[in-house]
């Protein structure tokens, strides 16, 4: 049983001695401080800790940092999370465990969020403080410098061990994967393509090669990208191991830690984590049903002088929106004077359900400023690890040099397998089949949501891609809904993972429709709806209790 209301965030925050200059990451400092308060008797068994967002606000930290601290305490058995009650001190045993040594590191500061007037920006321009890794018994400990909080949240949330229940047929329903359906990937055709690539390769073809990629493959990729509506010549193609590497190469080649980058809000977690790891300050630009709010860009550019704008204009992750023609034009008009590079990420423009295909942001007039990333991870095979970026030759040269430093060059066998597949007979039919299936699943998911969820739940029908972005009805706690859904055998991706700067009021889930057949989606939504209604009822009950009134009906 918990004792009384949650502790006031301000009181707890005042008793936590944090040192942003320390080598110990802030989430560990917060966890250690709470452990100390428990050891000293200031917090007792059954006491409720402040809600994550309140403590984060009181400490001036991101809610991800505080959430990580609570996770550490949960893993240590010091606290437990109870739906409807929050985080409660479970045991005072072990509270006296040794405090981490809070050494200082010159110039290092914590990963966090800073207010810039009415816009909050992530990061502080320096690399994050290294958490110590490998602390298991007998394992050496060593400082690690890379953190990927959003990707970690996402991976943890969709891990099957989170779920205790199962669906009617005894299996888990995965609505959080963000993946295509493995059964719809053209593996058989790729097997042939790979075998042919290996059969026809001479030993000479498989010696060390240049970083830019095989000329024949570059020509094929340029043609494929032109068909999708991008300005592309083969000398503008750099073959990479996928978009994650393309983004990494651009950052390492052209960006200094501390520089500002405009990103979509919500946006693609792996890109946000990667940018932040490099010390970029992320400036979130809202996305609505027409895509990125291009009308806000001029103001942000004048104010932050960003070096990059990163966007996924077709099949945006997580919302599935497509940047409208009007906004594309406005963006192209702005680019020449903006003194920034535009990174245009295309992972699934082939999976378009609404409207006509549109030219990319990269057209002949903008090609000097726009780098387009083409990934085949959602349409062909995530595991092939071949993609490309398009860049004007003066930019491409330095990028190719960075590629050579990174991994020399992408496997020529994989490059040729992709080329043979793209030039083969089945590619169009394979894409059309996948698109048809995902289209049907998108509609099935939307229909099930409309039927099962309260009328004030909101979403925009995705125009492209694999996912639907669901705004939970007011009164629901997103973490609780996810937890309750997992108990019912349904895994969803947490909205919190998709933001550059956490929003305490955020209550979204990303639902992947591509990965499950319509009947499974319907079953998943019924279970999710139960979770939503349970969370909402609890929230209403608590509101009524807090206001001293009895609920009229629950
Ligand atoms: C916006 C976006 N870009 C790129 C990717 C995939 O990148 P990669 O080619 O590195 O697999 C994804 C995958 O989810 C994505 O959502």
| Exposure letters 337-346 (e unless 16+ CB within 10 A, then b) | ebebbbbbbb
CA-based R_g, the chain, Å: 25
Rounded Cα distance between 322 and 311, Å, is: 11
Q: Are 88 and 2 in contact (CB under 8 A)?
A: yes
The pLDDT of residue 550: 38
CA atoms within 13 A on the CB side of 232: 26
The pLDDT of residue 353: 98
Kindly state if the Cβ of 415 falls inside 6 Å of ligand 1: no
Kindly state if the Cβ of 179 falls inside 6 Å of ligand 1: no
In degrees and rounded to multiples of 5, residue 338 shows phi and psi of -85, -15
Protein residue with its CA nearest to atom 14 in ligand 1: 178
Name the band, by pLDDT with cuts 50, 70 and 90, for residue 50: very high
The pLDDT of residue 332: 98
SS3 content of the chain, % helix, strand, coil (to 5): 45, 15, 40
The pLDDT of residue 102: 43
Kindly state if the Cβ of 319 falls inside 6 Å of ligand 1: no
Q: Which atom of ligand 1 is nearest to the CA of 375?
A: 9
pLDDT in tens, 335-349: 999 999 999 999 999
Rounded Cα distance between 22 and 3, Å, is: 34
Rounded Cα distance between 449 and 447, Å, is: 5
Kindly state if the Cβ of 54 falls inside 6 Å of ligand 1: no
Q: Which atom of ligand 1 is nearest to the CA of 179?
A: 14
CA 417, chain centre distance (Å): 29
Name the band, by pLDDT with cuts 50, 70 and 90, for residue 3: low
Kindly state if the Cβ of 382 falls inside 6 Å of ligand 1: yes
pLDDT in tens, 68-88: 788 778 767 788 877 677 888
- Quick one: average pLDDT of 28-47? 88
Kindly state if the Cβ of 498 falls inside 6 Å of ligand 1: no
Give the Å distance between the CA of 288 and the centre of ligand 1. Answer: 20
To test the pocket of ligand 1, the residue of 271, 317, 374, 462 to mutate (highest count of ligand atoms within 8 Å of its CB) is 317
Give the Å distance between the CA of 137 and the centre of ligand 1. Answer: 36
Q: Which atom of ligand 1 is nearest to the CA of 465?
A: 16
Q: With CA atoms as reference, report the closest residue to 412 among 187, 194, 186.
A: 194
Size of the chain in residues: 554
SS3 state at 468: strand
Name the band, by pLDDT with cuts 50, 70 and 90, for residue 505: confident
Kindly state if the Cβ of 317 falls inside 6 Å of ligand 1: yes
Give the Å distance between the CA of 18 and the centre of ligand 1. Answer: 36
Q: Which atom of ligand 1 is nearest to the CA of 315?
A: 1
DSSP state letters, 370-392: EEEEE--TTTT-GGG--EEEE--
In 188-339, the DSSP E strands lie at 237-240, 260-265, 281-288, 291-292, 308-311
Rounded Cα distance between 50 and 416, Å, is: 56
Q: Which atom of ligand 1 is nearest to the CA of 178?
A: 14
Give the Å distance between the CA of 244 and the centre of ligand 1. Answer: 7
Q: Which atom of ligand 1 is nearest to the CA of 387?
A: 9
Kindly state if the Cβ of 243 falls inside 6 Å of ligand 1: yes
Q: Which atom of ligand 1 is nearest to the CA of 312?
A: 1
Please state whether the predicted TM-score (pTM) of the whole model is above 0.85.
no
Q: Which one is predicted more confidently, 121 or 374?
A: 374
Kindly state if the Cβ of 269 falls inside 6 Å of ligand 1: no
pLDDT in tens, 510-525: 999 999 999 999 999 9
Q: With CA atoms as reference, report the closest residue to 69 among 106, 16, 108.
A: 16
To test the pocket of ligand 1, the residue of 154, 178, 243 to mutate (highest count of ligand atoms within 8 Å of its CB) is 243
Kindly state if the Cβ of 313 falls inside 6 Å of ligand 1: no
Q: Are 90 and 100 in contact (CB under 8 A)?
A: no
The pLDDT of residue 497: 95
Rounded Cα distance between 379 and 398, Å, is: 29
Burial class (CB in 10 A: 0-12, 13-18, 19+), 23: middle
SS3 state at 67: helix
Protein residue with its CA nearest to atom 7 in ligand 1: 243
Give the Å distance between the CA of 401 and the centre of ligand 1. Answer: 23
Kindly state if the Cβ of 375 falls inside 6 Å of ligand 1: yes
SS3 state at 8: coil
């Amino acid at each position: 049983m918990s004792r009384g209301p949650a502790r006031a965030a301000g009181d707890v925050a005042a008793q936590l001695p944090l040192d942003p200059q320390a080598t110990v990451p802030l989430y560990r400092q917060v966890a250690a401080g709470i452990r100390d308060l428990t050891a000293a008797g200031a917090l007792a068994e059954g006491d409720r800790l402040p809600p994550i967002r309140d403590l984060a606000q009181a400490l001036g930290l991101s809610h991800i940092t505080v959430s990580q601290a609570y996770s550490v305490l949960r893993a240590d058995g010091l606290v437990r999370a109870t739906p409807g009650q929050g985080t409660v001190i479970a045991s005072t045993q072990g509270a006296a465990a040794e405090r981490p040594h809070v050494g200082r590191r010159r110039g290092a500061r914590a990963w966090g969020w800073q207010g810039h007037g009415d816009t909050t920006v992530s990061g502080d321009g320096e690399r994050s403080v290294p958490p110590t890794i490998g602390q298991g018994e007998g394992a050496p400990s060593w400082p690690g410098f890379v953190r990927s909080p959003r990707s970690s949240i996402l991976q943890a949330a969709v891990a099957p061990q989170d779920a205790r229940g199962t669906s009617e047929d005894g299996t888990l329903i995965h609505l959080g994967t963000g993946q295509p359906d493995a059964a719809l990937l053209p593996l058989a055709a790729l097997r042939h393509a790979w075998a042919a690539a290996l059969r026809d390769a001479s030993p000479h073809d498989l010696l060390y090669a240049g970083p830019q990629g095989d000329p024949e493959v570059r020509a094929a990729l340029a043609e494929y990208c032109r068909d999708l509506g991008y300005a592309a010549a083969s000398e503008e193609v750099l073959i990479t191991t996928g978009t994650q590497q393309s983004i990494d190469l651009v950052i390492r080649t052209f960006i200094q830690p501390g520089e500002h980058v405009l990103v979509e809000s919500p946006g693609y977690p792996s890109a946000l984590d990667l940018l932040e790891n490099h010390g970029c300050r992320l400036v979130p630009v809202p996305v609505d049903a027409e895509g990125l709010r291009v009308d806000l860009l001029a103001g942000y550019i004048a104010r932050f002088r960003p070096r990059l704008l990163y966007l996924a204009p077709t099949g945006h992750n997580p919302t599935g929106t497509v940047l409208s023609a009007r906004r594309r034009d406005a963006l192209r008009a702005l680019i020449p004077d903006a003194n920034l590079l535009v990174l245009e990420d295309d992972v699934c423009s082939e999976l378009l359900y609404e409207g006509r295909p549109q030219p990319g942001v990269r057209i002949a007039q903008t090609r000097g400023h726009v780098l387009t990333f083409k990934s085949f991870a959602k349409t062909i095979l995530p595991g092939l690890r071949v993609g490309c970026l398009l860049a004007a030759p003066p930019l491409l040269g330095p990028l190719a040099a960075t590629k050579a430093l990174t991994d020399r060059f992408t496997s020529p066998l994989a490059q040729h397998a992709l080329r043979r597949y793209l030039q083969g007979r089945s590619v169009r039919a394979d894409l059309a089949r996948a698109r048809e299936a995902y289209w049907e699943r998108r509609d099935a998911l939307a229909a099930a949501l409309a039927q099962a969820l309260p009328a004030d739940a909101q979403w925009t029908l995705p125009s492209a891609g694999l996912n639907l972005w669901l705004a939970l009805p007011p009164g629901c706690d997103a973490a609780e809904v996810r937890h309750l859904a997992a108990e019912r055998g349904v895994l969803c991706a947490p909205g919190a993972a998709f933001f550059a700067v956490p929003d305490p009021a955020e209550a979204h889930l990303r639902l992947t429709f591509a990965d499950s057949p319509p009947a499974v989606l319907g079953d998943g939504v019924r279970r999710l709806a139960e979770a939503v209604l349970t969370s909402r009822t609890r929230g209403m009950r608590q509101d009524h209790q807090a206001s001293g009134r009895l609920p009229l009906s629950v």
